[in-house]
Amino acid sequence: MIGLGFVYAVGGAVFLAYAILSATDGGNPKRWGNAAFYALLAASFWLGDLLGDVGNGVLVLGLVVVAGFKLMGRGGRPTTSIEERREEAARRGNRIFLPALIIPAVALAGTLAFKRMPGLFDVRQVTLVGLTFGVLLALAACYAWVRPRAVTPLAEGTRLMDSVGWAAVLPQMLASLGAVFALAGVGGVVGGIASGIIPEGSRMGAVVVYALGMAGFTMIMGNAFAAFPVMFAGVGMPVLVGLWSGDPIKVAAIGMLAGFCGTLMTPMAANFNLVPAALLELKDQNAVIKAQVPTAIPLLLANILLLYFLAFA
Amino acid sequence: MLVLLGIAVVVVGFVLRFNPLLVVAGSALVTGLAAGLDPLSVLASFGKAFNDARYVSVVYIVLPVIGILERHGLQERARTAIAALKGATVGRLLIGYLILRQATAALGLTSIAGPAQTVRPLVAPMAEAAAEKQGAPPGEDRVPALAAATDNVGLFFGEDIFIAIGSILLMVGVLQGFGIEAEPLQLALWAIPTAVCAFAIHASRLCLLDRALAKARARQEGAGE
């Protein structure tokens, strides 16, 4: 069956290519750090299920050492100049968009089609499988059309990967921190504190503590998934549903979205906030967060009002 | 209470600008020790969760395609295409992208767009070209950052309308723990009011940007006469 195994096989191969191309990049003074980082990720994709839990933990420690001691740099491979690109863009016209559009088109078609083939595809992973097929087809189209040297797309990919660098694994690290927090019972303590500061007899007060707690804990954990079980168990269920007879479905649904407002405002949500800033080569690594705060704060207020007026109807 | 030390480590580590991977690993260790776990079981639970979450890093396989197309002028073409389009403004362009992103995410198509797949190669250069046409100074962070922000807003407040997304399934599971049987569809339904608010708030900010750019240009032209 084609599922995550296939996706991870391709992922491992691409990261191994990034590792090899980093190791052979004489223009990067820290090439061994980059090579080690990408090689560890390739190992994670290919061997993660065989390493065992402690083995994976050691692998993560390796990534932390490489990134934490600043052993990664930017690749130095030459690419085309802006003048060459302008000239080629004018010559190739809008057809240059087609290979890029293959990826979403195939991901979309795959998502819809693979669902009907449960014998062949893992139906829970159809979008990721579709994305992977899209990438492979787009790559094939690029080879056929612009006829680069075999290694050039991967070298260009390494160049972009270097601009993301260690931030690439922060989301995975935070998911893991969430697991440790769960094991240690952090949620119970945070939920207890949150329910303790609710002003007595105030429904609005309870709604505000719940929504702000959801956004605030999401900002610390970088992910609303970690905050939701904590705030729902600590405040949502006992106070909003239990004490004020709120509808648990609405309290849950809108509460989660209050958490998403927190995601927009924190560097811990690296894949949404730091990675784009790195990919776009912005001068300020917090520029994306700064662009989002003016949307996130009014939206958080909107969620508080939605909770207050909808959840107790 | 002692287990909250891990949260303190995260906050202090970020304020002091340590490498976030170090901060997270440190926080996990402190939290585990404070809870009386032995270091090896902290390492094991950390490693297991890391392995289970690999799917979030799969998206970096698109970079070779984007890289080779950029080498051959993808971003430059995106700029030209927008510059040639009459009536294209950065606000209108990004509102269009916001609608597209919210609608596709609501259908469960979260991975077809994103910072690597669409924002860097297409949306950001198009937004910059439009803004420059409106008289914005080139090379600033503001417009590309707003393009990335629009992608996030569209994704976050679209995907929760789709019933098979992770956050909905998480809520179903948590509610089940309290003995409440919730249909994913019910939860998805109550994501719609917030999705509408998110669109209204973000789209009006984009309209205001268009207006601010027009005003700045008018002032400049006025000063030039």
Q: Does A163 touch chain B (CB under 8 A)?
A: no
B99: closest CA of chain A, how far (Å): 16
Q: Does A16 touch chain B (CB under 8 A)?
A: no
B1: closest CA of chain A, how far (Å): 7
Q: What pLDDT, on the 0 to 100 scale, is given for residue B151?
A: 96
Q: What pLDDT, on the 0 to 100 scale, is given for residue A313?
A: 77
Whether residue A294 and residue B148 make contact (CB cut-off 8 A), yes or no, is no
Cβ pair A22, A40 in contact under 8 A: no
Whether residue A44 and residue B54 make contact (CB cut-off 8 A), yes or no, is yes
Residue A123 has pLDDT above 80, yes or no: no
Amino acid letter at B81? Answer: A
Cα-Cα-Cα-Cα dihedral sign, residues B93, B99, B103, B105: positive
Indicate the angle between helix axes A126-146 and A97-114, nearest 10 degrees: 150
Size of interface A-B (CB pairs under 8 A): 428
Q: What pLDDT, on the 0 to 100 scale, is given for residue A45?
A: 96
Using alpha carbons only, give the angle A146, A150, A154 rounded to the nearest 5 degrees: 95
A positions 213-272 inside 8 Å of B (CB): 220, 224-225, 228-229, 232-233, 237, 248-250, 252-254, 256-257, 260, 263-264, 267-268, 270-272
Using CA coordinates, name the residue in chain A closest to B69: A96
CA distance A92 to B129: 19
Least CB-CB distance to A57: which of B31, B43, B53?
B43
The pTM for the full model equals: 0.85
Q: What pLDDT, on the 0 to 100 scale, is given for residue B225?
A: 58
Residue A150 has pLDDT above 80, yes or no: yes
ipTM for the whole complex: 0.88
Contacts 24+ apart (CB under 8 A), A30-33: A30/A71, A30/A72, A30/A73, A31/A73, A31/A75, A32/A71, A33/A66, A33/A71, A33/A72, A33/A73
Chain centroid, CA A228 distance in Å: 18
Contacts of B146 in chain A (CB under 8 A): 291
Q: Collapsing DSSP states into helix, strand and coil, what is residue B113?
A: coil
Least CB-CB distance to B19: which of A68, A131, A253?
A68
Whose CA is closest to B213, among B136, B141, B140?
A: B136
A121 φ, ψ (degrees, to nearest 5): -120, 145
A63 φ, ψ (degrees, to nearest 5): -60, -40
Note the pLDDT tens digit of each residue in A236-259: 998 999 999 999 999 999 999 999
Region A98-120 average pLDDT = 85
Cβ pair B67, A138 in contact under 8 A: no
Cβ pair A239, A210 in contact under 8 A: yes
Burial call B181-194: b when 16+ CB within 10 Å, e when fewer: ebeeebbbebbebb
Q: What pLDDT, on the 0 to 100 scale, is given for residue A115?
A: 82
CA distance A64 to A176: 13
Note the pLDDT tens digit of each residue in A48-85: 999 999 999 999 999 999 998 888 988 888 888 888 99
Cα–Cα distances (Å) from B47 to A11, B95, B170, in that order, read 19, 41, 21
CA distance A244 to A236: 10
- For chain A, give the mean pLDDT: 90
Q: Does B187 touch chain A (CB under 8 A)?
A: yes
CA distance B32 to B6: 8
Region A131-157 average pLDDT = 93
Low-confidence residues of chain B: pLDDT under 50: none
A202: closest CA of chain B, how far (Å): 23
B positions 30-59 inside 8 Å of A (CB): 31-32, 34-35, 37, 40-59
Q: Does A177 touch chain B (CB under 8 A)?
A: yes
Cα–Cα distances (Å) from B100 to A135, A203, A302, B144, in that order, read 21, 37, 23, 18
Cα–Cα distances (Å) from A298 to A304, B147, B189, in that order, read 10, 19, 21
Q: Does A152 touch chain B (CB under 8 A)?
A: yes
Comparison of pLDDT for B86 and A8, the residue scoring more: A8
Q: Does A41 touch chain B (CB under 8 A)?
A: yes
Q: What pLDDT, on the 0 to 100 scale, is given for residue B152?
A: 96
CA distance A181 to A106: 38
Residue A222 has pLDDT above 70, yes or no: yes
Structure confidence at residue A187 as a pLDDT band (50, 70, 90): confident
CA distance A170 to A172: 5
Residue A41 has pLDDT above 90, yes or no: yes
Cβ pair B209, B91 in contact under 8 A: yes
Q: What pLDDT, on the 0 to 100 scale, is given for residue A24?
A: 93
Contacts of A270 in chain B (CB under 8 A): 20
